[in-house]
Amino acid sequence: MRIAITGASGNAGTALLRNLQGQLAKKPGSLQLTGISRRLPDTSREPYAGVEWHTLDIGVDSDRPLLESALAGVDAVVHLAWQIQPNRDLEQLYRTNVNGTRRVLEAARTAGVKQIVCASSVGAYSKAPKDRRVDESWPAGGMAGSHYSRHKAEQEEILDRFAEAEPGIAVARLRPGLIFQSEAGSEIGRYFLGRVIPRLLPGKLRVPLLPAPDNLIFQAVHADDVAEAYWRAIDQRASGAFNIAAEPVLTPHELARIVGARRILPVPMGLLHAVVDIAWRLRLQPTDSGWVDMAAGAPIMDTSRARRILGWEAKTSSVDAVKEVLEGMGKGKGVSPSPLLKPRRP
């Protein structure tokens, strides 16, 4: 089987390559891997070695012939490519995230690909209460205040139309919670906190008092567990949507235990929104307030469909995944062969 991965050198892509290299070790010659990215990683080092690489930008129409060439002879495409920064340039993000998805699907159809597995997100869902879990039937209409959520919802619409028009192509989408691993610490810190704040974090974060809104309730999952879900979807030629998250659900009390806080200071979500918005406008940090809107409204997902159909279950708890990424941020950890995951310079 030949598998092509867009965004193959990023957080989830690197974890998926590790997983697929492991599958190859069990059955040599069973898989042929194609990596697609805007910037070429060091292909002499794992997990990027032994992969046929294509450097192109899915967001520009001029690279479509390169994309079609990269997908020639491919059996399954895992579409992971997505831009989070620069989130001051929404036109660029839309070009890559939404139009890029259209181009990948069109190129896959032209190339005769028979399976698409796409990275969606919990952020694609419409606002939901935090006191119960929702399954994959909850509306994926996004949240208006978050460009990330709007783009994910539009991506879902594109996938729906494609699946309806192409019944011969298996179309699956994974909707994971926040994806963490220690090797993504430098990247995640840089994307969401900027280049200065992560340098101030100790290797093991300990705070006596945690300011947090009461409804800051969310789900996370380790990158290796997400990679396993992608592999199972490929291997079983699965279709439809799958919620992917680890246990437990993360609440302010869980976060306080993770960082060793003795007390939680309740903070209104509106105040957090205002502080983040001001800091973003003053360019003190790179995260706009839409991420707060999404955190406030994102549902708590029921993952039973992934367990039932894919036989998937997270091996790493959400607590350990958060601990890993916090340590990775503090120490500036990364994957040096990847331009996206490169460790922070001392």
CA–CA gap between residue 232 and residue 239 (Å, rounded): 11
322-328-330-332 Cα dihedral, nearest 10 degrees = -150
Q: What is the pLDDT of residues 189-213, one digit of tens each?
A: 988 888 777 776 666 667 788 889 9
The identity of residue 293, as a single letter, is D
pLDDT band at 26 (very low <50, low <70, confident <90, very high): very high
DSSP 94: H
Cα three-residue angle 217-120-153, rounded to 5 degrees:
85
Q: What values do phi and psi take at 260, rounded to 5?
A: 70, 25
Which residues 6+ apart lie within 8 Å of 161 measured at CB?
none
Reading the block at residue 294, the tokens are 């999404």
Longest dimension (CA), the chain: 58
- How many other CB atoms sit within 10 Å of the CB of residue 184? 27
**Cβ atoms of residues 262 and 208 within 8 Å:** yes
Degrees (nearest 5) of the Cα angle 46, 51, 54? Answer: 120
Q: Give the model's pLDDT for residue 200.
A: 63
Domains along the sequence of the chain with CATH: 2-180+221-244+301-314 (3.40.50.720)
Who has greater pLDDT, 113 or 193? 113
Q: Under a CB-based contact definition with an 8 Å cutoff, are residues 11 and 184 in contact? A: yes
Q: How far apart are CA 70 and CA 98, in angstroms?
A: 20
At 205 the pLDDT is: 67
Has residue 106 got a pLDDT over 70?
A: yes
Enclosing H/E stretch for 192: helix 185-193
Give the rounded percent of residues in the chain with a pLDDT score beyond 70.
98
Q: Record the pTM.
A: 0.95
140 vs 123: CA distance, rounded Å? 8
Q: 């957080």: which residue's tokens?
A: 11
Per-residue pLDDT of 227-286, as tens digits, reads 999 999 999 999 999 999 999 999 999 999 998 998 898 999 999 999 999 999 999 899
The pLDDT of residue 203: 61
What are the tokens at 224?
A: 């290796």
